[in-house]
Amino acid sequence: MIDAILISLLTPMPVPVPVPTPAVTPVVGRATDDVKDAIRAAGKNVDELIALAERWTAEQNEGAARTAFERVLKLDDKNAAAHHGLSHHEYDGEWYETYAALSAHRRAEAKRMLDEHGLVRYGDEWAPVTDVPFMRMGWAKAEEGGWLRPDEKAELDRGKELAAEGWEQQDLVWVAPADFDKWRSGKWKVGEEWMSKNDANTAHSELNNPWRVAAKHFVAITTCDRDTAGWVGWHADLVYPDLARLFGKVPARKLEVVALKDIAQYNAFAAGSVADQRSQTDASGYSSVHYAYFGESWFDTAHNPPVYRGAGVCYWDRKDATLDPYGLHAVRHAAAQSYIDAIDPSWDTVSRLIERNNPNGFNATDFWGEKLVPQWLRYGAASYCERYFQDPNAADGTSPWWAREWALENLRKAGGMRDLEDVWAFALDPADPTRSGQLISEAGCIVSFILDGQCAPVAEKHQAFKAALESGEGVAEAAEALQKALEKNRKKLEKYAGL
């Protein structure tokens, strides 16, 4: 028994003999006499060569397919099937063997088209670089030039049809001839209803249904009463000449300015409302430092694509005897903000948001970073229009410079002008509205000196700044030169302001 066990342990176990795997010649890249013969036999028959290449591609014989496609291109260098077979890239009717070659060509072409013609590629066409943001937003070219928002284009087209049928406008509301008698009786059309003036004022006192009243340069969008709405447009129009004098440019279109009836609505409009589908209009928090701000993140999402509505915003509380006198100043500041943004827009930032249908992705840093006009000058201009202006309508016996006298007195009481470097930095702080308000007033005083101080060195740099802004080139350098001139003439500035 033990002998049997020992024998079993000493006998080696049988080892399986591996079955040899037949050698396989890779198909990819194989060049055989059969391939050469087939291509030679096809001769100059492009269709037959394409058929061979496609068969070899299906068989994963990439080398053979490439040889056939390359033969086709020698016979027909524009043959799309062969170029596609070789993974070439088509662009404007030309073919490029690699994406790197195509990219190099496009970069060189883009530079040439921009340098020589001011054009950039948008989709499948070349467009003026200034037109591209409007094309992204879906705006339409106006017949008289300029651009129209989609809602404006639809409103203009509808207006032409209604006017041809004899309709007329009560403010910006179209009235049918059959309703002219209601209009003449002193009623106001609100939606499809006709109301007394008091009832119309009540209906238009809500944020979702404001008055829209056109003045010469502005459209007043307001929840104040109708009489105040007229004054909003009137005061807004008055800032136009001073801003044209300061910047040397005027907007290409009529502007909007928003005036709300009290501070509660003002804050609600700045914050926005998800429930009411109103976007936040104040992304920077600047509404809390003053009674006016620029609504940089205001989008109307009821339209598709969304419509950008950025505009100056303020409040005018006619029912508060203490706040009421400040209303006209707030309107002037807000109107100036609308004007300045129109001549120095951030269309690249805004249009990319609209193109992506993502207004909630608004980034205040991107928006303000696109500006050419420095913030101190933007706010200084608005402050000048608000409180340093000359009033051509001053009452008899009243100084036309009453506003400036009031502003300078307040500035002196607040301690005068801080270091100009701090003004240039212009760090508004929503958490410190008192200091921020003083900073805005100081910037207004500087603009007052630029426009009315009759300081030759400053006037020279101001003219250079306007020329740079008009051309769109060298604006930062011109603004810095203006700042240096102001620094060198600080004593004259202080004497001018009585500081």
Residue ranges in 318-455 assigned as alpha helix (H)? 327-343, 347-355, 364-369, 375-383, 402-413, 420-425, 433-452
User: Can you give the pLDDT at residue 12?
Assistant: 45
User: Can you give the pLDDT at residue 303?
Assistant: 86
> For the CA atoms of the chain, what is the radius of gyration?
36
In angstroms, the CA 81 to CA 94 distance is 14
The amino acid occupying position 201 is: N
Q: What does the H/E/C string look like for 69-98?
A: HHHHHHHCCCCHHHHHHCCCEEECCEEECC
User: Can you give the pLDDT at residue 116?
Assistant: 83
What tokens were used for 433? Answer: 């509205």
β-strand partners of 228: none
404, 448 contact by CB (below 8 A) = yes
In angstroms, the CA 276 to CA 125 distance is 40
User: Can you give the pLDDT at residue 32?
Assistant: 55
212, 232 contact by CB (below 8 A) = no
User: Can you give the pLDDT at residue 33?
Assistant: 62
Maximum Cα–Cα distance for the chain, whole Å? 141
3-state helix, strand, coil in the chain (%, to 5): 55, 10, 35
- Residue 37: phi and psi, rounded to 5, are -65, -40
**DSSP codes joined into one string, 272-336:** -BTTTTB--S-SSSGGGGSSEEEETT-EETTSSS-EE--EEEEE--TT-TTTGGGHHHHHHHHHH
Q: Which of 289, 298, 226, 290 is nearest to 256 (CA)?
A: 298
**DSSP codes joined into one string, 102-121:** HHHHHHHHHHHHHHHH-EEE
User: Can you give the pLDDT at residue 434?
Assistant: 93
Walk along the chain (499 residues) and give the pLDDT tens digit of each residue: 344 433 333 444 444 444 444 443 444 444 456 888 888 888 888 888 889 888 988 888 888 888 888 887 888 888 888 888 888 988 888 888 888 888 888 888 878 877 888 888 888 788 888 888 998 998 988 877 788 888 888 999 999 999 999 999 999 999 999 999 999 999 999 999 999 999 999 999 999 999 999 999 999 999 999 999 999 999 999 999 999 999 999 998 999 999 999 999 999 999 999 888 888 999 999 999 999 999 999 999 888 889 999 999 999 999 999 999 999 999 999 999 999 999 999 999 999 999 999 999 999 999 999 999 999 999 999 999 999 999 999 999 999 999 999 999 999 999 999 999 999 999 999 999 999 999 999 999 999 999 999 999 999 999 999 999 999 999 999 999 999 999 999 999 999 999 8
Distant-in-sequence, close-in-space partners of 461: CB < 8 Å, separation ≥ 6: 478, 481, 482, 484, 485
Provide the 3-class DSSP secondary structure of residue 222. strand
What tokens were used for 259? Answer: 């005036």
User: Can you give the pLDDT at residue 19?
Assistant: 44
Give the start-to-end residue ranges of the domains of the chain: 33-87, 138-166+204-368, 374-499
- Residue 381: how many other CB atoms lie within 10 Å: 26
- Residue 260: how many other CB atoms lie within 10 Å: 25
In angstroms, the CA 169 to CA 393 distance is 29
